[in-house]
Structure 1
């Protein structure tokens, strides 16, 4: 059993983030010492690792809540987890497509800008929605 500070240190997670995960129910309330210090079991540590890895993979808080509720119920199938993961993967792929489009647009607008000391700027025009050569 370890205290929250040690859990934060071992996991590389901020104390406030651990507190937040407890408040929203991703982490279960830990045991407490007689003096009120929180004590985290190896299971709590593993659960935090699961949450942190899930966040690294881009799973939302709600997606993690769903995955953890399946785990907590002890009544899930690999197929259910696969379905949730495939849904998440589709979302990630859409974000990649959107980011590539954003990259092309920013590159095109940036290429039209000569920089310098003139007040006319195609980047500002594009942000204001004014027609630029790119849009003509």
Structure 2
């Protein structure tokens, strides 16, 4: 009489079980990676959308101020980087209100609320929303 696990039937069943285990494990790893990538993509989209709301609000504030009429010429003549630098310079000087006319998500503390802080190169706070924490941690650019 053959030992139980030496028969062909048991060996084939063990190999098929191992193969099924590897396939299910690979599927789980791939599904987890795709879920993680989707989560990061969603977070990136929300950050980009919030950023465009903030920059758009700064632009509207600059265009509404008659003393800042040169903004439109700078924005048309130069790149968006120059226009953003112009806006941030005016924001640091107090000529533009960064938080005027922002959507409700920038002022509430309900789950999913959004806050922002704008800092200069030295790490000094230029502007922030009212719902921002007392100390905002950020990474300095190299």
TM class by smaller structure: 0.3 to 0.5
Task: Return the index of the structure with the highest Cα Rg.
Answer: 2
TM-score (norm 1): 0.35
